[in-house]
Structure 1
């Protein structure tokens, strides 16, 4: 490319991930949007390939997002076309592979050593719901990708310390915290009627690893001792929560749908604090914790050896309990709800932690620095 006698080097980026925000509205997908927003300032051409139940394509200026359908296999969509197109497009590009992702591991293992590979490691593959046999077959592919990569991005030191596959590559690891944009006049709320005057909140996908069965157990047997809880989201456990809310409508308010950003902001802003009881390492970070802390809301979370307990610190911005412990979760909820002084202290610390550790500006600068390979 040449402009008025000056040669301009066209820098291209290929991002490979399991999902895209065009299809799935989760924490990782929102982070991918942030990657694309910032890296499109550095690269003249950004292509993002992901998988979906429905194939589609979107092009916006120098950014192309393409979704491939295929066969669903252990929570991944396998597509031969995805692998072929990825290998075809990698030539002359920096390749950013987001794990866990089976097709990404296949592509990574097949890439040549001279390909510029940057891995983003969100969570441990086997603990993201893959059977151990499949994991054993994937390990050589993942290790091959990690070995050939120039850098590995993780969201917290906890991930490096607790992930066996990463320990031998710790010198390649770069910590890039997931960011949160600060509160401003652009962030709006939308009132939801029918809520109790005071409540605690859970927001997220209604799947097993979110620890919802602990909440169901807790409110099925001890609701008379606990404050009202509002749960918002959709997923396989919806029926269980509908049953629980019908049995105890005064204490369990269930919003059985995907709420808007404005509704989420309203729910968080008017709550006392957030409950985030995830119970497996499939929960790598927990962006919704940041959203609560932005409003100065304490968080009760669990110690998983991932980024969850790094985001909200025990005794500083909330309380951390053991996963799947009904008694510990019950005690934490009661103690925090009854102690206004503790809530005030955690609230102040939560806002400060967002500002000092999870600012968007810090994330953007760090990301660009990492991609300067």
Structure 2
């Protein structure tokens, strides 16, 4: 069986949460006899079309971007060419350009869409896009939500309950080999005190500005891995308020990230808006057996992190609540260990990439 995945970006151009999910599905379903192709946009389509972990990453020329949406003239032909070879087309929502390509292609293949997120930021443009969006969602055969929480709280998904199923996102532990001893030693010497870790792109909905306000109310170290459009303003705030316990580490190699996950006291994830639909970084923390702190935003974050079981869930946009949770886990070693063990159990039970891949392989077969 051949499956074509279609999304606006993919490796090597970008490798964020959706891209990592596509990669895990493509890699994991191979053992079920599924051959995967991925089509995305790129400013350098020739150079960036290549093989990746047993599947093919194809590119069409990116012409322009507007409101986080990439547009391409070339993609219509590339999609037609690749979809004709596929048994199933697997879309990854949201991306309005994808809807247009699908609806104009007169596709005669079974279709699945993984619904990663509602459109939250572009509310004005959403009103213009809604007719196209619903026409697209009505036309596909199956819709996959990434958590029962999101399926229950998304007004859009509620309209398509009859063809929506839930398949949680998962990660492969084999992609996270233990950190070399010298790397761990280097980080342990640099940060000898207990610390909490954040990993993610520094975007508006990640709530890092709220975390910095919380950091003013605790002496515990907070390490931030990642870069992004909010970085300059966040650094300026930390400097202005002399937050010596906040450390911006930028983007790090995987071995360094793994070392810090292993060494951390806990994981803090302050995303405060529904744009954070799941939070794969939380799955990483659970995989490493770390207690988690997150916010209740009605999405998959509270599916990964269960309050008082795998960590603590606080109100969104609440610096005092975040600070209180950080201090509680930092000061209660036994409780932190218990939450961490239960987070690890939750990963093994619900968030392994092999389980996700198996669910998708079974979904592909009946559709095809």
Tell me how far 1:266 sits from its aligned partner. 0.7
The one of 210, 214, 220 equivalent to 2:206 is 210
2:195 alignment partner in structure 1:
199
Deviation at 1:283, TM superposition (A): 0.8
Whether contact under 8 Å (1:122, 1:284) holds in the other structure is yes
**For residues 347 and 11 of structure 2, what CA distance do their matches in structure 1 show?**
24
Matched, 1:280 2:285: no
Q: How far apart, in 2, do the equivalents of 1:155 and 1:185 lie?
A: 22
Measured in 2, the distance between the counterparts of 1:76 and 1:110 equals: 18
Query: 1:237 is matched with which residue?
Result: 230
Give how far 1:286 is off: 0.8
Matches within 5 A, 1:152-171: 152-171=143-162
RMSD: 2.3
Q: What is the alpha-carbon distance in structure 1 between the residues aligned to residue 319 and residue 176 of structure 2?
A: 39
In structure 2, relative to structure 1, the CA distance for the partners of 1:103 and 1:28 (3 Å cut) is: same
Measure the CA separation in 2 of the matches of 1:27 and 1:153: 16
Deviates more, 1:244-253 or 1:353-362: 244-253
Structure with higher helix content: 2
Over 3 Å counting, the alpha-carbon distance change for 1:182 and 1:59 in structure 2 is closer
| Structure 2 Cα separation of the partners of residues 345 and 59 of structure 1 | 42
Q: Compute the displacement of 1:111 (Å).
A: 4.3
CA distance in 1, matches of 2:32, 2:352: 20
Counterpart Cα distance in 1 of 2:143 and 2:33: 19
- Give the deviation of 1:62 after TM superposition: 5.8
- State TM-score, norm by structure 2: 0.89
Equivalent positions of 1:49-128 (< 5 A) are: 49-55=39-45, 56-59=48-51, 63-91=56-84, 93=86, 94-112=88-106, 114-124=108-118, 126-127=119-120
Give the whole-Å Cα distance in 2 for the aligned partners of 1:284 and 1:40.
26
SS, match of residue 190 in structure 2 = coil
Instruction: Give the count of matched residue pairs.
Output: 356
Q: CA deviation at 1:248?
A: 3.4
What pairs up with 1:277-356 in 2 under 5 angstroms? 277-356=270-349
Deviation at 1:47, TM superposition (A): 2.6
Distance, in Å, in 2 between the alignment partners of 1:261 and 1:62 is 22
State the secondary structure of the residue aligned to 2:129: helix
Query: 2:6: which partner in 1?
Result: 16
Query: 1:178, 1:274 → 2: CA distance?
Result: 19
Report the CA distance between 1:194 and its aligned residue: 2.0
Decide which moves more: 239-248 or 63-72: 239-248
Say whether the 8 Å CA contact 2:293–2:325 is kept in structure 1: yes
Name the CA distance, whole Å, in 2 between partners of 1:83 and 1:312: 40
* 8 Å contact from structure 1 (residues 196, 228) kept in 2: no
Shift of 1:123: 0.5
Aligned counterpart, 2:163:
172
1:322-365 per-position Cα deviation (integer Å, ceiling 9, x unaligned): 11111211221122222222212201211111111112332221
- Bigger relative contact order, structure 1 or 2, given CA contacts below 8 A and separation 6+? 2
Please name the residue that 2:125 is paired with. 134
CA distance in 1, matches of 2:114, 2:30: 17
Matched, 1:266 2:250: no
Matched, 1:182 2:173: yes
